[in-house]
Amino acid sequence: MDVVVQTSLVAMHAKNGHLKLACHVFKKMRTAVINMYSKCGALSWARTLFNQINCKDSISWNAMITSYGIHGHGKEALSLFLEITKTIQIPDHATFSSLLSAFNHSGQVEKACELIDSMTAELGLAVWVALQAGCCKNNMLFIGEMATKMVLELNPDDLGIYSLVSNYYAKARKWDDVASVRKIMKKTGMKKVPGFSVVEVKGKLHAFLMEYKSHYQYEIMMQLLDKLDHEMRAIGYVPKIDFVLHSLDEEVKKKSYFITVEACYCLWPPKHKARNQIIDHKEP
């Protein structure tokens, strides 16, 4: 539902005296705005709106914990989780998954493992996926191996999860397992939608994704990126390209890793940057 439909629903429920239904829709709207602020990097605005919600449900708590998580604020996410335990609200699997994701994004995989050990309920797919992603990101391959096996045993039907598993095996240099996962994806007709990001410059949106060559300043940006790459390597920088699909040519791997929207963003003239923002739409 878009905001127009949701607003109409709130008005309709209010007119008919359905207060609970109106409040339910309104809460969903505020949660959507919290997610929007988070994706745009406006965490303080997201927290302000979150604080204005008087009767917070699990969706509201999870949205704010996730917002902290994707920006690497593990300490704040944990603090928020502890606040939940002081209320009548009972943390659900989504809450634990959000907190796990926060730990993983902030490099606190050990805390994530401790949290899993403390959980008495049966662990769902989302929990194992969060742990597996964190292990892959933070190079904890031994724990990641266990989490990856648990993910596959639960037979996920989400393409993004299989991509995460494939990335883990690539990072562990287990190419036979990479091929096996890719075979499953191909057999089931799965095809990954490329993640993309959007940069807003002076009110105009610019979208970037892997192998994107249609931007009118593409050649200029590639020349500058190549120059930066050489300068960074001269002082010891070595890109981590192990997780990039091994069947690609080595040079393509480097470009696939190096060409990110954040890199392209850095290439815009400084006079524009004060009014710019990056909106992430990266697929798992």
Residue 183 and residue 62 share a domain: yes
Distance CA 12, CA 15 (A): 5
Q: Are residues 64 and 168 in the same domain?
A: yes
Same domain, 63 and 136: yes
Domain total in the chain:
3
Residue 62 sits in the same domain as residue 140: yes
**Would you give per-residue pLDDT tens digits along the chain (284 residues)?**
455 555 565 566 555 565 566 566 656 677 788 888 888 888 888 889 888 887 787 888 888 888 888 787 878 888 888 887 777 667 777 777 777 777 777 777 777 777 777 766 667 777 778 777 777 777 777 777 878 888 888 777 777 788 888 888 887 888 888 888 888 878 777 666 666 677 777 777 777 766 666 777 778 877 887 888 788 888 887 766 555 544 444 444 455 555 554 555 555 554 444 444 545 555 44
Give me the domain span that covers residue 40: 1-52
- Domain termination site, one of 169, 187, 205: 187
Same domain, 18 and 63: no
**pTM flag (> 0.85):** no
What CATH number is attached to the domain comprising 156? 1.25.40
